[in-house]
Amino acid sequence: MEGTANMGVKSVSVTSSIYDDGSAVVRVRGEIVTNLKATEIVRVVDVLMEDQSPPKIVISLDDLNYVDSYSFNWILSIYREIQDRGGLLAICDLNNDILELFQMTNFLKAVPVYATEEEARNALKSGDESGRIAR
């Protein structure tokens, strides 16, 4: 699945991959001026949550330049919804600025965050969260 959302002169691209182990990775790239919820990621994640039982979704923020408070709220909302469905969510590939923001807000303790996509997928597969950036 692919999609692009234009937000003024900024754009965000969203792609996803589904793996044989039942996990899915949603990759978000670009700049976000306002809110992740205003991008294609919502539709992509909704489809994956409907198609997978239970959902096991990794959201990779590789090459994403900015995440605002609306995006934090959306991630928390999706995390809770996936948990309610018996699934797992992990975030990965944060740049240094976003990682620092996640650390300052204690977001790393609220949602599983991993350094790489591979670490996040392995954690979803095994159920072992010991590789989280923070707990």
What DSSP line would sit under 16-32, residue for residue?
EEE-TTS-EEEEEEE--
- How much is the pLDDT for 54? 93
Domain ranges of the chain: 2-126
Q: Rounded to an integer, what distance in angstroms lies between the CA atom of residue 70 and that of residue 87? A: 23
Question: What is residue 41's predicted lDDT score, i.e. its pLDDT?
Answer: 82
Residue carrying structure tokens 């809110």? 35
What pLDDT does 43 receive? 86
- Cβ within 8 Å of residue 100, ≥6 positions away: none
Q: How many CA atoms lie within 13 A of 37 on its CB side?
A: 11
Low-confidence residues of the chain: pLDDT under 70: 1-10, 32-35, 37-38, 135
Per CATH, the number for 2-126 is 3.30.750.24
